[in-house]
Structure 1
Amino acid sequence: MGYQEVLELVWNERAFSSDARRWNTIVEGSLPEDSPLLAVLGWRPALNRLDDQAHRRHRQAVTETLNGIDLRRLRSAVRRQAEVLVDGWGMNRTADIVTQYARPLVSYAFRVLIGLPGAEERRVAALLGSIAGGSHDAARAEAELMRTLHRLVAEKREVPGPDLTSWLLAHSAQLTGAEVAHNLAAILFSGGESTIGWISGTMRLLMGDDRLNSAVATGRMTVTDAADRALWDGSPVPNISGRWARNDLTFAGCRVRAGDLLIPCLAAANTDLLIHDSQDIGSRAHLAWGTGSHGCPAKDAARSIAETAVDVLMRRLSLVRPGDCDTAALRWQPSLWSGTPDQLPVAFAPIRPAPNAPAAAPATPTLMGVPEKRQDARAADSSPTPQAWGWWNSMNGW
Structure 2
Amino acid sequence: MALHFTREEFDARVRAATAAMKAERLDALLMFRQESMYWLTGFDTFGYAFFQCMVLTADGQLVLLTRAPDLRQAQITSTVTDIRIWRDREGANPALELRDILEELELDGSRIGIELEAYGLTGRSLRMFDRAMEGFGVMIDVSTLISRLRLVKSDAEIAYVRRAAELADDALDAALAEVRPGAFEGDILAAMQGAVFRGGGDYAGNEFIIGSGEGALLCRYMTGRRHLDPVDQLTLEYAGTYRRYHAAMMHTLPVGSVTSRQRDMHAACEEALLACEDALRPGTAMGDVFQVHADIFDRAGYGDHRLNACGYCMGTAYPPIWMDWPMFYADNPVVLQPGMTFFLHMILMDSDSGTAMTLGRSSLVTDRGPEVLSRHSTDLKSA
* TM-score, with length taken from structure 2: 0.25
More strand, by proportion: 2
More helix, by proportion: 1
* TM-score, with length taken from structure 1: 0.24
Bigger Cα Rg: 2
